[in-house]
């Protein structure tokens, strides 16, 4: 889940424990890549940099979000949406870098991530056209206010839609509430304190306002998202 531009957010100790799962969960996908060695080397580079340099208080936006949430979801959606191997490589690269901007700033991290991707990818053999696509994909994950609703705006671009759906994949999963707790702890580290009522209201607004952008995600995650939203509303009813 990307951070809202009006809110300063922050990380979880689970990031260090789970980041190493990248190899076991996503490495098999690189065998189908156009250049498997390039993708494996890039994944190793980004993983090591995030594990070394990301703040230990990024309980939500830590390496585990990239490696255990977003990359596996991108892989699944690429398969189900019929994405070509070349475009899958571009999407996986964008997923690896989509939150790397947190290395430099908590707010406005997407342009920073796009810049870092542009500086790094030539070293791994990515062409200028490939890099331009990666940068555009990273920028698409930024939350924007549209008609009073904070949301991602991937336009009519399948690759952007896949990355945005993957970024918020947890909204429709059974581990949504534990991940939500990580986000709340991250925000607390940033000085943002919410009462239980405030937090539930905030979560209900966010989850209810998000739509899936791909048919595969609607098929796989809509029922789970509705289940999580119903649970949030039941919890809120206790305070009303």
CA 195 distance to own-chain centroid: 26
With respect to residue 171, please indicate whether it lies within any of the assigned structural domains: yes
With respect to residue 172, please indicate whether it lies within any of the assigned structural domains: yes
With respect to residue 8, please indicate whether it lies within any of the assigned structural domains: no
* Entry pTM: 0.87
pLDDT of residue 148: 76
With respect to residue 7, please indicate whether it lies within any of the assigned structural domains: no
pLDDT of residue 36: 84
- Strands (E) across the chain are located at 144-146, 149-151
- What is the 3-state composition of the chain as percent helix, strand, coil, each rounded to the nearest 5? 70, 5, 30
Domain that holds residue 130: 14-237
Q: In this structure, are residues 191 and 170 in contact, taking their beta carbons and an 8 Å threshold?
A: no
**CATH (domain of 183):** 1.10.3210.10
pLDDT of residue 32: 66
The pair of three-digit structure tokens given for residue 171, joined into one six-digit string:
């909204």
With respect to residue 206, please indicate whether it lies within any of the assigned structural domains: yes
**Nearest to 64, CA basis, from 163, 182, 213:** 182
With respect to residue 162, please indicate whether it lies within any of the assigned structural domains: yes
In this predicted model, what pLDDT tens digit does every residue of 14-48 receive, in sequence order? 433 433 333 334 443 575 677 888 999 999 999 99
With respect to residue 210, please indicate whether it lies within any of the assigned structural domains: yes
Residues of the chain with pLDDT under 70: 1-29, 31-32
With respect to residue 155, please indicate whether it lies within any of the assigned structural domains: yes
Domain count along the chain: 1
pLDDT of residue 147: 78
């Amino acid at each position: 889940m990307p951070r809202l531009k009006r809110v300063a957010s922050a990380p979880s100790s689970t990031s260090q424990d789970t980041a190493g799962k990248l190899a076991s969960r996503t490495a098999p996908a690189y065998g189908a890549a156009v250049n498997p060695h390039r993708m494996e080397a890039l994944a190793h580079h980004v993983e090591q940099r995030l594990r070394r340099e990301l703040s230990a208080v990024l309980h939500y936006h830590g390496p585990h979000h990239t490696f255990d949430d977003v990359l596996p979801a991108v892989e699944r959606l690429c398969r189900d949406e019929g994405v070509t191997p070349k475009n899958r490589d571009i999407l996986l690269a964008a997923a690896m870098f989509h939150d790397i901007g947190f290395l430099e700033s908590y707010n406005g991290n997407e342009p920073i991530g796009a810049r870092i991707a542009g500086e790094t990818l030539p070293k791994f053999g990515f062409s200028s056209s490939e890099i331009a696509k990666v940068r555009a994909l990273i920028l698409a994950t930024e939350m924007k206010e549209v008609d009073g609703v904070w949301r991602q705006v991937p336009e009519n671009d399948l690759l952007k839609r896949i990355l945005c759906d993957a970024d918020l994949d947890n909204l429709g999963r059974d581990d949504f509430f534990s991940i939500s707790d990580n986000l709340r702890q991250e925000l607390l580290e940033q000085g943002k304190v919410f009462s239980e009522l405030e937090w539930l209201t905030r979560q209900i607004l966010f989850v209810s306002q998000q739509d899936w952008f791909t048919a595969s995600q609607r098929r796989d995650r809509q029922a789970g998202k509705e289940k999580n939203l119903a649970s949030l509303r039941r919890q809120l009813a206790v305070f009303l």
